[in-house]
């Protein structure tokens, strides 16, 4: 099995007025934005005797954007609110002419209260960020099955809730500009509820499933994100 992973993650806008070692001053308002894009493809190889057979695995595309507005309660603590959108699509081609093509796409709107705590190391220019986020998500998943000229589509409504604490580092090359980097979760708890309606009219049946995930010290290098921030 071979995997090709392309990840582009751009984070950050934060703006300031006063010149000092950094823009971390109580009472400052800043705007932060994140933009992410990733593509994953998979190829499967099977060797039978001296012959190698290969097939394409699932291809996944993900796009997300999360702008937020934040306020520095103190020189080290900010609170904020983000509103964003996430889209993910997975395509799986049928491995044989008799197998259908499957496409799953999910569009999700996110509302995310957040907290950032800055820990300077030596001076205000460089240090550690502990970021906390409580994402509340809602959206729709569409499952499409295509066999020949026949296409069948089913939709599922999704609601999610989570609590995530993420580590990172920051650096101020100038008083108005901050660079950031983060990777994975110290603690992550997320719950996703899915509802699917089957049948029509009085015969409609609603199926509900709830999935919960917990992460502790999950530092994934593929989740590494870099950002730039501007204060005002």
| Tens-digit pLDDT profile for residues 216-229 | 877 654 456 777 77
Report yes or no on 229 lying in a domain: no
Residue 118 lies in a domain: yes
Tokens of residue 157, six digits: 């409504």
Element holding 41 (H helix, E strand): strand 29-48
Is residue 51 assigned to a domain? Answer: yes
- Number of domains composing the chain: 1
Interval 1-19: pLDDT, tens: 333 333 333 333 333 333 3
Contact (CB, 8 A) for 177 and 230: yes
Output the domain CATH number for residue 66. Answer: 2.40.128
The mean per-residue pLDDT over the stretch 168-174 comes to: 86
Per residue in 90-127, pLDDT (tens digit) is 988 876 667 788 889 999 999 999 999 999 997 778 99
**Phi, psi torsion values for 63, nearest 5 degrees:** -135, 135
Nearest Cα to 34, choosing from 182, 193, 143? 182
Residue 205: enclosing H or E segment and its boundaries? strand 205-218
Of 7-16, 166-175, 195-204, which gets the smallest average pLDDT? 7-16
Residue 232 lies in a domain: no
Residue-level pLDDT at 185: 78
**Residue 8 belongs to some domain of the structure:** yes
Q: What is the pLDDT of residues 176-191, one digit of tens each?
A: 787 888 877 788 898 9
Query: CA-to-CA distance for 191 and 147, rounded, in angstroms?
Result: 33
């Amino acid at each position: 099995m071979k995997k090709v992973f392309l990840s582009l993650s751009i984070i950050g806008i934060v703006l300031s007025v006063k010149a000092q070692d950094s823009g971390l001053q109580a009472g400052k308002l800043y705007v932060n934005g994140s933009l992410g894009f990733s593509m994953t493809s998979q190829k499967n190889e099977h060797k039978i005797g001296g012959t190698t057979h290969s097939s394409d695995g699932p291809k996944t595309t993900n796009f997300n954007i999360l702008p937020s507005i934040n306020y520095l309660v103190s020189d080290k603590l900010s609170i904020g609110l983000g509103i964003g959108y996430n889209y993910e699509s997975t395509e799986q081609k049928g491995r044989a002419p008799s197998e259908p093509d499957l496409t799953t796409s999910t569009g999700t709107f996110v509302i995310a209260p957040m907290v950032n705590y800055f820990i300077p190391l030596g001076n205000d220019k460089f240090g550690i960020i502990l970021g906390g986020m409580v994402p509340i998500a809602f959206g729709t998943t569409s499952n499409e099955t295509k066999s020949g000229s026949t296409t069948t589509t089913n939709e599922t409504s999704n609601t999610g809730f989570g609590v995530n604490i993420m580590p990172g580092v920051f650096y101020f090359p100038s008083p108005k500009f901050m660079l950031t980097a983060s990777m994975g979760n110290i603690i992550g708890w997320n719950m996703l509820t899915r509802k699917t309606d089957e049948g029509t009219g009085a015969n409609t049946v609603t199926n509900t499933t709830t999935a919960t995930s917990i992460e502790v010290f999950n530092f994934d290098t593929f989740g590494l994100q870099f950002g730039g921030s501007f204060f005002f």
